[in-house]
Structures are given as C-alpha cells and as structure tokens.
C-alpha cells in the first residue's frame, strides 16, 4: 500500500475527534468529552474497525478499491457493486461484532449506501433537473479521501405517534426546515437514539418514515459536521457504564455502546451537503432503502451474537456439570435452539445476497424480502435465546459477590466454595464466565441489546409490512396455483 493509499489509523481518528468543538452533554457540558471513560470505550469500538483495516491478513475483507478516487478505502465507505462485495460486507460486520458485540459503524455505512441509490432515483424522477446524486458522490469522495467514520441519524423523537409530522404540537419532534436561503437551509429538531453519534466527525441525516404533501419541511436528507454551530449531543443510557474489574469481560472493560441524542438548533446546512429537500414522495423511498440495508446488516451482527451465546451456553453447561440429558431437560436441545437462530439468520443473509440485483445507480441491492426476514427472525428469536441462557446459567450471574473477595484471605475460601463446580475449573474462570453472562442477559447493557434487536432498523411491524409488500406477487401466484389444482376440470 503506497502513501497515496494510506488509511487513517485509529490514533488519527481519535486525534480528529479531540480537535472538535465541545458540544457533548451528560448532565452538564463536557469540556473534554473524549477523555470521558465511557465515551472512550465507545471510541474503542470504532478504533477496532480502523485497526482491522490496517491488518494485512484482513485487508481483503476490511477494505476495497474505490471507483471514485482509485484508492484503497475502508469497506464501510464502499458502495457494493457485486454479490462478492455484499458477502465481504457481511463478513466484515460479523468479524467485528464477534469482538465488540455491536460494530456501530454499520448505520453510517448503510446511510451512504441508501443515499447513493436514493439520490439516483430522485434525480431520475426529476428528469435530472436536480443534482442530488452528484452532490452525494462529492460527499462520498470526501468521506473516502479522509477515511471518516460517519454516524447516521434516522429516528426522530416522533412526538404523538397518532399525528403526522406537520401536525405535531412540538414541531421539533422531527428534524425540519426552519428557513431556506440561496446558500442552503436552516434545520431544527431532535434525532434519537443515534448510534456512535457521540464519537463521530460527520452526521448523516435521513427521514425515517413516509411523508405527506404537508410534510415537505420534514422531507430532508443532509450531512453535517458533528460539531457544527447549533448542534448539541446528549449522552444516553447513564446506567450503561464501563466495567473496571479484573474479571470483567472485554465488552465493558474495553468496549462499550454509548447511544446519543442529537439536537439541531437552527443549524445551517449548505446546498452541496443537501441530498433531499422537500420532495415528500421520496421520504418513504429513502427510509425504506435505509431500513432494508440496515436490516441486511443485522443478518451479519446478530449471527455473531448468537454464536457468542451458543459458545457461552456450551461453556456454562460444562462448568456447571449439566452437559447431556438430565431429569426433564436436555441441555443439547437448549443449545441447539440458540444455534438455530444463528443458522436461520445466516441463511437469510445468503439468500438476500443470492437474490440481489444491480440497481440503475450501479450499486447492487440485497433482496428486500430475505433481508427483512433475516432481521424479523433475529428479533423474534433473540428474547428466546436470552431466556435459554438465563435458564442454563441459573441465578449466579445476577447474584455475584464482589470480585475482590476472591483475593481477600479472610473471605477467599468461602467465595471459592461458592464457585466450586466441575473438577479443574478455577473459581476465577467460573467468575469471569458468570460475569460475562450477566452482561449478556442480566444487565442494562443486555437491556440495550434486547431493545436494539427489536427496534434497530425499524420494529417488527415495519419489517412485516416490507416482507408482505414485496411478497404479494408471489403470494398471488401461490393462490392461482392452488385454484388450478383444486378447481381445474377433471
């Protein structure tokens, strides 16, 4: 890799963040937000994506050559054009997720991908009287040239769910246009919860739902610097905190998922960074493109988590001495139920790739039915896998004594007796495994994972609508097939 193709290092990513204007708030404005321990551990997740891209052994999966600038770039910022590209995109997400649970960069990468396809459709609909796609290409080139990891803000605060955006008592429940000028637009509103929004240089904003003609002011997509004037970023999930114990798992001790809320207070967006502006009919188009792509990403990260839970279930069974069949229970069957989730969702991913089609924009797009079905299955099965692991582990993960007692001469013997299980398993190792299980299924972090499995990329109802709408022709063909079978003349 020559100097021209040198990728950003994780250290350079961190240094870029530290140069940004302070606008991150916990219960107060943080003057040095990137020295906050919890935020740093969120940054570590993104750092891993930069480190892996530098690894010669992972280069083929983690990077690709851009047709825009001819350089090797991070695959998150690359628009897939072949089935092999889609396969490698999922491999990248799966590899990272097995290390950090939630890779976080998928949202921003999926937004770039959706805008690439969506702006091309929009310009074509406008008979090329607009230049949104060219603006997007210039912005994408900027992201690639500077190896930036953008966040994407799709979900609005939403207000009263029974009302359309323009009907809301608090207009700021949705990000909207406040004023238009020859140079650009001014926007206000709230997006929340937004993954990796606290430790990014760039924020991409997109609509998250279908919009009516009266909602033109809410039909906007744009990109903005994370520290632009008028932007405030709030740290969410005060109970999701760093873990400091020697027996804490890597997730929590080194990595953390810290969500953020982004508040736009009359923020100026220049024309060249606007990719949708008032074309309300395309609100649903942009939202649906993003949703399908993000649900496709779930078919990589969720199997990674199911694989982790499968291994955890096998290990705790071994430690507790509950392998094989015992009275009215079958451990192998329980483990298979967790593994089944990974197999099913991975199968949907493969089908989505196999049935993918190249769009007029030049990008290849995964099959919508299989991508949505993969996410739908994962969100249905995730609570069940959590329940199975809770059942197999017993009460200990939620009722651990303080780990320092393992080193205290006065209490050490008692605590080690508590952890006495299968021969050859140390109390320390047993503690570590139970602490890991606690994080997975009995913690605030676990609650975040469970809520994310339901609502990330849209809820189950939205997924069912997408599956049904894209399956109607096939279902009608099924009906006609049966009519011929049953009603044909003898």
Q: Please tell me the predicted confidence (pLDDT) of residue 327.
A: 59
The count of structural domains within the chain is 2
CATH of the domain at 71: 2.40.110.10
To the nearest 10°, report the CA torsion of 470, 474, 476, 478: -150
Assigned token pair, 228: 């632009």
* 319 and 331 share one domain: yes
Q: Is the pLDDT of residue 129 over 60?
A: yes
Tell me whether residue 489 is in a domain. no
Q: What are the backbone angles phi and psi of residue 8, rounded to the nearest 5°? A: -65, 140
- 3 pLDDT band, cuts 50/70/90, is very low
> What is the distance between the alpha carbons of residues 149 and 489, in angstroms, rounded to a whole number?
63
- The verdict on residue 106 lying in a domain is yes
Boundary (domain end) residue, out of 281, 310, 325? 281
Give the pLDDT confidence of 156-179 residue by residue, as tens digits. 999 999 999 999 999 999 999 999
**Domain contains 312:** yes
In this structure, the answer to whether residues 84 and 229 fall within a common structural domain is: yes
Residue 305 and residue 241 in one domain: no
Q: What is the pLDDT of residues 186-226, one digit of tens each?
A: 999 999 999 999 999 999 999 999 999 999 999 999 999 99
pLDDT tens track for 388-416:
999 999 999 999 999 999 999 999 999 99
Examine residue 174 and state whether it is found in any structural domain, yes or no. yes
30 lies in the same domain as 166:
yes
**pLDDT for the residue numbered 305:** 96
Token representation of residue 465: 């609508």
Q: Is residue 165 situated within a structural domain? A: yes
**Are both 252 and 362 inside the same structural domain?**
no
Task: Say whether both 321 and 192 belong to one domain.
Answer: no
Domain boundary among 281, 314, 334: 281
Q: Considering the domain boundaries, does residue 483 fall inside one? A: no
Q: Does a structural domain hold residue 192?
A: yes
Query: Measured between alpha carbons, how far is 42 from 200 in angstroms, rounded to an integer?
Result: 10
pLDDT, mean of residues 462-481:
92
Examine the domain organization and report whether 354 and 463 are in the same domain: yes
**350 and 299 in a common domain:** yes
121 and 269 together in one domain: yes
For residue 398, what is the domain's CATH number?
A: 1.20.140.10
Residue 148 lies in a domain: yes
Confidence band for 315, pLDDT divided at 50, 70 and 90 = very high
Which domain covers residue 418, as residue numbers?
284-477
322-374 pLDDT, tens per residue?
Answer: 876 665 578 899 999 999 999 999 999 999 999 999 999 999 999 999 999 99
From 237, 259, 281, the end of a domain falls on 281
Q: Looking at the structure, do residues 290 and 160 belong to the same domain, yes or no?
A: no
Work out the pLDDT band at 4, boundaries 50, 70, 90. very low
The token pair that represents 387 in the structure block: 């329940």
Q: Is the domain of 30 the same as that of 90?
A: yes
336 in the same domain as 262: no
């Amino acid at each position: 890799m020559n100097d021209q193709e040198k990728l950003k290092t994780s250290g350079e990513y961190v240094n870029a963040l530290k140069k940004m204007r302070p606008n991150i708030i916990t219960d107060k404005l943080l003057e040095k937000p990137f020295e906050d321990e919890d935020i740093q551990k969120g940054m570590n997740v993104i750092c891993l994506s930069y480190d892996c891209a530098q690894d010669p052994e992972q280069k083929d999966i983690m990077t690709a050559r851009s047709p825009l600038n001819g350089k090797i770039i991070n695959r998150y910022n690359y628009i897939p054009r072949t089935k092999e590209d889609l396969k490698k995109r999922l491999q990248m997400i799966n590899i990272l997720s097995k290390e950090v649970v939630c890779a976080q960069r998928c949202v921003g990468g999926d937004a770039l991908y959706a805008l690439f396809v969506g702006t091309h459709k929009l310009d074509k609909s406008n008979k090329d009287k607009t230049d949104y796609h060219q603006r997007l290409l210039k912005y994408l080139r900027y992201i690639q040239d500077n190896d930036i990891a953008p966040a994407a803000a799709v979900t609005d605060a939403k207000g009263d769910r029974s009302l359309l955006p323009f009907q809301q008592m608090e207009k700021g429940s949705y990000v909207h246009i406040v004023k238009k000028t020859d140079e650009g637009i001014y926007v206000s509103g709230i997006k929340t919860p937004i993954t990796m929004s606290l430790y990014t240089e760039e924020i991409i904003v997109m609509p998250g739902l279908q919009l009516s003609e009266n909602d033109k002011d809410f039909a906007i997509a744009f990109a903005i610097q994370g520290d632009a004037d008028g932007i405030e970023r709030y740290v969410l999930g005060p109970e999701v905190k760093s873990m400091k114990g020697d027996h804490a798992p890597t997730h929590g001790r080194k990595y953390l998922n810290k969500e953020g809320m982004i508040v736009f207070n009359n923020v100026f967006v220049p024309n060249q960074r606007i990719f949708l502006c008032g074309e309300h009919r395309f609100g649903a188009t942009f939202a649906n493109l993003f949703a399908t792509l993000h649900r496709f990403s779930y078919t990589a990260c969720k199997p990674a988590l199911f694989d982790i839970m499968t291994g955890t279930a096998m290990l705790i069974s071994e430690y507790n001495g509950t392998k094989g069949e015992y009275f009215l229970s079958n451990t192998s069957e329980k483990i298979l139920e967790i593994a089944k989730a990974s197999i099913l969702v991975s199968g949907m991913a493969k089908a989505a790739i196999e049935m993918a089609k190249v769009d007029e924009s030049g990008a290849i797009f995964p099959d919508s039915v299989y991508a949505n079905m993969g996410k739908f299955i994962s969100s249905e099965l995730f609570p069940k896998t959590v329940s199975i692991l809770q059942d197999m582990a017993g009460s200990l993960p939620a009722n651990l004594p303080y780990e320092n007692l393992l080193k205290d001469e006065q209490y050490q013997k008692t605590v080690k007796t508590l952890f006495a299980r299968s021969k050859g398993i140390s109390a320390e190792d047993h503690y570590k495994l139970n602490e890991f299980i606690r994080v997975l299924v009995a913690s605030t972090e676990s609650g975040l994972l469970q809520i994310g499995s339901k609502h990330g990329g849209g809820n189950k109802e939205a997924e069912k609508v997408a599956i049904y709408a894209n399956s109607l022709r096939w279902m009608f063909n099924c009906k006609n097939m049966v009519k011929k079978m049953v009603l044909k003349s003898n």
